[in-house]
Structure 1
Amino acid sequence: MIFKASADGQFQLNGRSLRCALGKAGVIAAVDKREGDNRSPVGVWTIREVIYRPDVYPDGPITALPIKAMAPDDGWCDAPDDPAYNRPVKLPYPASAERLWRDDHVYDLVAVLAHNDNPPVPGMGSAIFLHLARDGYPGTEGCVALARADLEALLAAAKPGDAIEIAAD
């Protein structure tokens, strides 16, 4: 199944239209995506795995997708010239890396999308996730963000091989 996120902030789930947040600067063709451009890459991205905070989800989220509990020292490398670019790392890390265990809780539940990961191309964008939206749905740095209940419902419906489509329409 492919779940669709449109540039107008609509997300399709089981016949329902939900609100979502995409990149602060809009969407862009995946071939033009660049690290730090605050744009979501247009395309269809397989959901690789779900990472969750065990203090928030002690039994893990309900999903058929592969899951992994997050640790407080988990990060994601966003340094294009580092060999671990667009890969999980342990913090502190010698190159630039985003902390996954966050105080704002938007990463309490994260689905890793298959953008620029096989293999990662330096500078083409990292850490394109499906994660929790902030209040008011402000734009993301390139990810897709949903309300907690909506993300939980999506993960409960998703199966291995399912994907998120980020569409320009």
Structure 2
Amino acid sequence: MQSSIITVRPAPGQKSRALLQFGTMVVPAAVGRTGRTTRKREGDGATPIGSMTLLSGFRRGERPLRVQTQLPIRLIREDMLWCDQADDPNYNRLVKAPFRPSHEEMKRKDGLYDVCLVMDWNVTSRSRNRGSAIFFHLIRPGYQPTEGCIAIHPRDMRRILPYLRKGTVVRVL
């Protein structure tokens, strides 16, 4: 599977569903509960339309999902959080507990972040309220909507991970 572009296009019938294509592989995916948008705002529940490069990733060490990839991957620790409070200087950054401002826990009980890839949405060049924690991660049962991320089945993530590297482009149409 030779490709450096992952394309995410809307699936017919439901704004929070998508089709993810990587090379010749096409798999179902979930996107934001409010669909996709060109005007991403913090908390709007939408997946940003545009091209985002993969920067790095995280994985749970104690879960049995084997991760083989060229992406830089860090093991998730209990104290890892991601700041989503737009007026904080750490907005859209990995932070360490204890941390009082609004944040997401990286070590989630629901397994969504057992493999969690960081896309460059508002990361290398940040703007307040433009959206935070836009990740490429694992799906909820039934392909339930995300809060703005892109999510796929663990089986599909295992299939594409070996081909991903820093700089792979995720293009949301």
TM-score, normalised via structure 2 length: 0.91
1:49 and 2:52 are equivalent in the alignment? no
The number of aligned residues is 164
Q: Which runs of 5+ in 2 are unaligned?
A: 12-17
Matches of residues 157-168 of structure 1 in structure 2 within 5 Å?
Answer: 157-167=163-173
Provide, for residues 105-149 of structure 1, a one-character-per-residue CA deviation record: whole Å limited to 9, x for no partner. Answer: 111110000001122111000000000001110110000000001
Percent identity over paired residues: 35
Match of 1:4 in 2: 7
Instruction: Please report how far the alpha carbon of residue 160 of structure 1 lies from its aligned counterpart in structure 2 after TM superposition.
Output: 2.5
1 CA distance for matches of 2:22 and 2:167?
16
Residue 130 of structure 1: SS of its match in structure 2?
A: strand
2:29 corresponds, among 11, 14, 20, to 20
1:81 and 2:70 are equivalent in the alignment? no
Residue 83 of structure 1: SS of its match in structure 2?
A: coil
Instruction: Please report how far the alpha carbon of residue 57 of structure 1 lies from its aligned counterpart in structure 2 after TM superposition.
Output: 5.0
2 CA distance for matches of 1:82 and 1:57?
35
Root-mean-square deviation (Å): 1.2
1 CA distance for matches of 2:41 and 2:64?
33
Poorly superposed stretches of 4+, deviation over 6 Å? none
1 CA distance for matches of 2:22 and 2:40?
26
TM-score, normalised via structure 1 length: 0.93
Residue 20 of structure 1: SS of its match in structure 2?
A: strand
Match of 2:14 in 1: none
In structure 2, relative to structure 1, the CA distance for the partners of 1:47 and 1:57 (3 Å cut) is: farther
Q: Which runs of 5+ in 1 are unaligned?
A: none
1 CA distance for matches of 2:125 and 2:104?
19
2 CA distance for matches of 1:160 and 1:99?
23
Match of 1:126 in 2: 132
State the AA in 2 paired with 1:63.
T
